[in-house]
Amino acid sequence: MKTKLTAPFTLALGTLALLLATDTLTAGQTTVSLASAAPVVKAGARLGVNLNSVCDWCDDFTFVDIMKQARGFADLTKPWDPVNNPVPVDSNGWPSQDFGVYFTSFASDPLKRPLTQTNPSFFGTYTLSFTGQATLSSSGSKNIINQKYNPASNTTTAQLVVDSHTGQIDIEFSNTQRTASSGINTGLQNIQLLRPGYALGTTQVFTSQFLTALAPFSTLRFMAMLDTNDSVVTNWAARTPKNMPSQQLNTVNGVGNRAIYSGVAWEYVIQLANQSGKDIWVNIPQGVDLTDPSSNNYVTQLATLFKANLSPNIHVYVEYSNELWNTAFSQTSNNFSQAQQEVSSGADKTLNYDNINNIWYWGYRRIAHQTLRISQLFAAVYGPSAINTTIRPVYANQYVQPYLAEDGLHYLQQNFGAPSKYIYAIGSAPYFSLPLSYTTLDSFFLSLQAGANQIVPGFSGTPAYTGSFPTYTGISYQSLADYYHVKNVSYEGGPDVSAGTNTAINEKANNDLRMKYLVQNYLADALGCGNALFMFFELQGSTADPFAAYHDFAVPTQKSNALTTVAKAPLANYNTCTAAIVD
């Protein structure tokens, strides 16, 4: 309803904004009825976060049951190395002989701090259970207590006390028997190791600390958790089953030296999305055949799984692989090779539609074409109206080479019509780094601010892109997005100090107030310039991880403080686009 003022008066805008949160206010003796204010949109609606891989060395606090993050099952002679010393496993991934497993380990801390300071959530009493019997030992956590065997259920339980003398959690299982009657070593099944504070029989999958840390964000990107880089997945049958013991590394019958499966099960992606209410950003493995016309098509199967199980109010950002311009990853060379094959065989005549005869541009255009195919495959399952609403395909490229995105968008328009029919957004990764040498914390921040100021001018859509093609200078992702009527998003971003020369200074900077202000100003500028979704990299990692906002969710850093501050602020606060960060 409209507000009717029954007496003349004047209010400062700030005061009025506060009063609008109520239904009435009084001016003198006159009561004025006001419409209830619309909910304030927080900046977190346009802020997301990348999740780390599931692994024992990531300081990972994703799962209640840390068997799901364990390194894998290895021979007792080298229990830390399941890659080169695997043991045979059954069809469900459980070992069929004696074995050892590393559940948690820690990278070296650049500042040499004790784990009680950096990872206090690691300590406490863990609860172990498994089907069968075994003799238990551990080199890292020697205090195994209260071991009991229940013959009626054929279940062994025990507790593992992790104190300040513990640096890892490993357990070696010998004299293993799956059944009470066999009397021979036959391995075990259904191993669980629950974190402190969670009781046997709990149905909780994700830790409370993890879910709380996700709260400020609107969107979760699963690129690393899905092991997108260097993925070995080529078909739907190769996806990781939910019932595999570890979601980190799985082998079948001990064959080979690397994982047959790759990344967490899609069912866990769905479960986390439904439980947290967050939108998701997923990556399609580069090696799958998107032209497969059958129902076995990987994307068709994934879209079907999502439609049947994902809450309908959750948006799905979908991207073809990850950083297919980055030669550090095998998917990049694979994509370029496939593009050349498709041109030479005539399988895809569009890649060289203009006779450019450039193998690199063929590869970059293939990314755009594969993104379009993904969009069409989701449309076939969800219906065309879901594209750019529920399903949000993202065409991603390198931030410092926007002309590659320009060529891809022009390619789509010339061959398939307006890109906005198929893609929701173009994406890039506007990291800022350390262009200047440094020897102290002060000079570190001078360098990092200089790096930020090399990046933030590109957030602006000025000058506007006019459509003249090609343009190798003066364009940005925002100007391209504006011209082609798509969104501009950042699939990754934040401070990148991975090439820094002093890891101790790099880590110390995470708890310096200047880091908070620099990240806040950087994000404010990105949002103020029109970035529709900024996916910070990354939520959590070890103390050796230069990108992590948290090492332990119980210990905030200045990065995590900055993210929380920005996410909780009204989005309307971020309405200024600047060319430089000055403080």
pLDDT for the residue numbered 126 = 97
pLDDT for the residue numbered 386 = 98
- Is the residue at 149 inside a domain? yes
The three-state (H, E, C) secondary structure of 341-376, written as one string: HHHHHCCCHHHHCCCCCCHHHHHHHHHHHHHHHHHH
- Residue 105 in this model has a pLDDT that exceeds 60: yes
pLDDT for the residue numbered 183 = 76
CATH code, 504: 3.20.20
Same domain? For 161 and 276 the reply is no
User: For the segment 139-178, what is each residue's pLDDT rounded down to a tens digit?
Assistant: 988 799 999 999 999 999 999 999 988 889 999 999 999 9
Residue-by-residue DSSP string for 259-291: -SS-SS-HHHHHHHHHHHT-EEEEEE-TTS-TT
Same domain? For 291 and 317 the reply is yes
Same domain? For 372 and 414 the reply is yes
Task: Judge whether 132 and 188 are in contact, CB under 8 Å.
Answer: yes
The total of other beta-carbon atoms located within 10 Å of residue 393's CB is 26
Same domain? For 151 and 282 the reply is no
Q: Decide: residue 141, CB within 10 A, 0-12 exposed, 13-18 middle, 19+ buried.
A: buried
Same domain? For 365 and 347 the reply is yes
Task: Judge whether 174 and 180 are in contact, CB under 8 Å.
Answer: no
User: For the segment 457-511, what is each residue's pLDDT rounded down to a tens digit?
Assistant: 999 999 999 999 999 888 999 999 999 999 999 999 999 999 988 999 999 999 9
Q: Report, as an integer, the average pLDDT of 216-221.
A: 98
Q: Which of 545, 551, 547, 544 is nearest to 535 (CA)?
A: 547
User: For the segment 340-370, what is each residue's pLDDT rounded down to a tens digit?
Assistant: 999 999 999 999 999 999 999 999 999 999 9
Average pLDDT score over the chain: 91
Mutual angle of helices 330-345 and 359-382, in 10-degree steps: 90
Same domain? For 17 and 96 the reply is no
- Residue 257 in this model has a pLDDT that exceeds 70: no
pLDDT: is 93 or 250 the higher one?
93
- Is the residue at 232 inside a domain? no
Same domain? For 188 and 272 the reply is no
CA 458, CA 211: separation in Å to the nearest integer? 33
Same domain? For 192 and 222 the reply is no
Same domain? For 555 and 425 the reply is yes
CA 266, CA 306: separation in Å to the nearest integer? 9
Task: Judge whether 484 and 529 are in contact, CB under 8 Å.
Answer: no
- Is the residue at 51 inside a domain? no
- Is the residue at 198 inside a domain? yes
Percent of the chain with pLDDT over 70: 91
How many structural domains is the chain composed of? Answer: 3
User: For the segment 263-316, what is each residue's pLDDT rounded down to a tens digit?
Assistant: 899 999 999 999 999 999 999 999 999 999 999 999 999 999 999 999 999 999
Helix (H, G, I), strand (E, B) or coil at 535: strand
- Is the residue at 235 inside a domain? no
- Residue 376 in this model has a pLDDT that exceeds 80: yes
pLDDT for the residue numbered 35 = 55
pLDDT for the residue numbered 29 = 43
Same domain? For 188 and 220 the reply is no
User: For the segment 59-95, what is each residue's pLDDT rounded down to a tens digit?
Assistant: 889 999 999 999 989 999 999 999 899 999 988 889 9
Q: Report, as an integer, the average pLDDT of 396-412.
A: 97
- Is the residue at 57 inside a domain? no
DSSP 310: S
Lowest mean pLDDT among 256-260, 375-379, 393-397, 427-431: 256-260
Q: Report, as an integer, the average pLDDT of 519-541.
A: 98
Percent of the chain with pLDDT over 90: 82
Q: Report, as an integer, the average pLDDT of 390-413.
A: 97
Task: Judge whether 104 and 166 are in contact, CB under 8 Å.
Answer: no
Lowest mean pLDDT among 7-16, 129-138, 475-484: 7-16
Q: Decide: residue 297, CB within 10 A, 0-12 exposed, 13-18 middle, 19+ buried.
A: buried
Same domain? For 436 and 526 the reply is yes
pLDDT for the residue numbered 38 = 77
- Is the residue at 368 inside a domain? yes
Torsion of CA 506, 510, 511, 512, to 10 degrees: 70
Q: Report, as an integer, the average pLDDT of 136-141.
A: 91
**Residue whose entry in the numeric block shows the structure tokens 């506060």:** 18
Q: Report, as an integer, the average pLDDT of 360-387.
A: 98
Same domain? For 11 and 72 the reply is no
Q: Report, as an integer, the average pLDDT of 524-540.
A: 98
Domain ranges, residue 523: 211-226+264-573
CA 80, CA 324: separation in Å to the nearest integer? 33
- Is the residue at 303 inside a domain? yes
